[in-house]
């Protein structure tokens, strides 16, 4: 199984980080402003970017400390992959363990995705800590 994994700290309370990932307004502040998202388990959310790129995710889990999505549509290599955000309290706020897994093969595209996820996760960190994220940082 091919996987993208990032682990980092956010100097903010876990419940705030959780809401920023789980709720529409939070996602719009760090990932993309063009989205359809209720956050309810079993529903499908669609995230759109200025370039025309999009992804549709089924919400699998939304519980304190864990959010999981299943990619149903979008880039061919994303289809069938899972994205998880595990949140853990620590001395400075919240440790985020992010995984995007289930890629069929390791390709340069997966490496590019890892790079882009790092930019988005940095935007998540900034949004939680300062109230100012950078949604859509590299996909115009």
- pLDDT per residue as tens digits for the range 33-59: 999 999 999 999 999 988 778 899 999
DSSP, collapsed to helix, strand or coil, labels residue 18 as helix
Environment class of residue 137 by beta-carbon count within 10 Å: exposed (0-12), middle (13-18) or buried (19+)? Answer: middle
CATH 3.40.50.720 fits domain 2-101+116-130: no
Task: Give the start-to-end residue ranges of the domains of the chain.
Answer: 2-101+116-130
State the DSSP code for 112: H
pLDDT at 29: 96
Mean predicted confidence (pLDDT) in 68-89:
96
Q: Is residue 90 within 8 Å of 7, Cβ to Cβ?
A: no
pLDDT at 1: 52
Q: Is residue 41 within 8 Å of 57, Cβ to Cβ?
A: no
pLDDT at 10: 98
pLDDT at 140: 46
Percent of the chain residues past pLDDT 70, beyond the cut: 96
pLDDT at 49: 86
Query: From CA 100, how far away is CA 82, in angstroms rounded?
Result: 6
């Amino acid at each position: 199984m091919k996987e993208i994994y990032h682990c980092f700290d956010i100097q903010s309370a876990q419940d705030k980080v959780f809401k920023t990932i789980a709720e529409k307004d939070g996602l719009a502040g760090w990932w993309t402003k063009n989205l359809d998202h209720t956050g309810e388990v079993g529903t499908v959310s669609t995230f759109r970017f200025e370039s025309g790129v999009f992804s549709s995710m089924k919400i699998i889990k939304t519980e304190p400390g864990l959010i999981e999505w299943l990619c149903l549509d979008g880039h061919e290599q994303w289809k069938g992959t899972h994205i998880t955000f595990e949140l853990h309290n620590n001395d400075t706020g919240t440790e985020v363990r992010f995984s995007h897994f289930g890629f069929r093969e390791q390709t340069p595209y997966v490496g590019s995705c890892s790079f882009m996820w790092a930019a988005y996760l940095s935007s998540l960190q900034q949004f939680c800590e300062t109230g100012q994220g950078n949604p859509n940082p590299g996909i115009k």
